[in-house]
């Protein structure tokens, strides 16, 4: 039976979210299409405080299959993100997760001049300078900061492979595995720090308009095989009947289409 707050990327897909989650109809929604020509080169303002981060590899604690992606939950301890559009506020890493497609030609949430990437990694942080908990921050307009990284098909990504190797242990919804091998989220970021930034929202319900988005211009490469391991995740619990009419219950195309940027400002820092 469909519950009140049920949502997915299929029958209860993004176009229906607004009926259960009114915030999805707001004017500060994400993702967006990045029109590179529209980006305001705000290099001095943004680079006066360079974006800085610190992620101890022991912070990544659990790998989870929530039924619509994979997610690594962290303990946040000693993690740090500050600078750039975040100015002097200090943010802590809460979790990171990924979006991908059914094929390598789609899968990212943000698009760049109309082009999608094969996937998009999101590192979700919350503002510890102003708020006491993640939940409190998630309701505030300056509460969250998400680093977005585009995934392009190419060579095997070593750090990502540590996650890919654990995914068979969380193949079904609600399965969780403890992470024992250290994973460094910093190694999942590209080797160039140029980024676009704008004010937006969570891309999943309830679509809170609480996110300062920082999207790296440079992508990282993952292999076709690694993406196929992502596509092997199932969106139903072990022991439940496979919804075979829904691509055998595979977690695929877990991205929201771009929302209008409207009159929001898109800024950029760094060239690439």
- Interface positions with Zn ion (CB under 5 A): 122
Report in angstroms how near the CB of residue 122 gets to Zn ion at its nearest. Answer: 4
Nearer to Zn ion, 55 or 100 (CB): 100
Nearer to Zn ion, 37 or 210 (CB): 210
Nearer to Zn ion, 122 or 234 (CB): 122
> Do residues 33 and 116 touch, judged by C-beta distance below 8 A?
no
Quote the distance between the C-alpha of residue 25 and its chain's center: 20
Q: Please report how the helices 158-166 and 224-231 are oriented relative to each other, as an axis angle in degrees rounded to 10.
A: 30
**124-134 per-residue burial string, b: 16 or more CB within 10 A, e: under 16:** bbbbbeebeeb
> Do residues 196 and 30 touch, judged by C-beta distance below 8 A?
no
In the bound state, the residue with its beta carbon closest to Zn ion is 122
Nearer to Zn ion, 2 or 185 (CB): 185
Report in angstroms how near the CB of residue 99 gets to Zn ion at its nearest. Answer: 6
Report in angstroms how near the CB of residue 125 gets to Zn ion at its nearest. Answer: 13
The strand pairing partners of 103, in sequence order, are none
Geometric angle at alpha carbon 73, from 108 and 120, rounded to 5°: 10
Nearer to Zn ion, 110 or 122 (CB): 122
Report in angstroms how near the CB of residue 186 gets to Zn ion at its nearest. Answer: 18
Q: Where are the alpha helices (DSSP H) in 54-157?
A: 134-137
Report in angstroms how near the CB of residue 45 gets to Zn ion at its nearest. Answer: 27
Residue of 204, 192, 203 lying closest to 272 (CA atoms): 192
């Amino acid at each position: 039976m469909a519950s009140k707050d049920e949502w997915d990327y299929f029958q209860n897909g993004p176009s229906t979210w607004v009926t259960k989650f009114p915030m999805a109809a707001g004017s500060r929604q994400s993702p967006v299409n990045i029109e590179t020509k529209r980006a305001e080169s705000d290099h001095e303002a943004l680079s006066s405080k360079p974006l800085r981060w610190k992620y101890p590899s022991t912070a990544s604690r659990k790998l989870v299959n929530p039924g619509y992606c994979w997610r690594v939950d962290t303990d946040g301890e000693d993690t740090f993100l500050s600078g750039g559009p975040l100015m002097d506020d200090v943010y802590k890493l809460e979790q990171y997760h990924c979006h991908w497609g059914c094929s390598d030609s789609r899968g990212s949430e943000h698009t760049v001049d109309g082009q999608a990437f094969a996937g998009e990694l999101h590192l979700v942080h919350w503002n510890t300078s102003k708020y006491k908990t993640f939940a409190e921050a998630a309701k505030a307009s300056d509460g969250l900061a998400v680093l977005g990284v585009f995934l392009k098909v190419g060579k095997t990504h070593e750090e990502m492979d540590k996650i890919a190797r654990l995914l068979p242990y969380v193949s079904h919804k609600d399965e969780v595995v403890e992470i024992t091998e250290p994973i460094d989220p910093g190694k999942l970021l590209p080797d160039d720090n140029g980024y676009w930034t704008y004010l937006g929202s969570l891309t999943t319900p309830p679509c809170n308009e609480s996110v300062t988005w920082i999207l790296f211009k440079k992508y990282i490469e993952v292999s076709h095989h690694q993406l196929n391991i992502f596509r092997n995740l199932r969106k139903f619990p072990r022991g439940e009947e496979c919804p075979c009419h829904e691509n055998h219950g595979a977690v695929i195309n877990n991205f929201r289409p771009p929302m209008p940027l409207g009159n929001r400002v898109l800024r950029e820092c760094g060239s690439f």
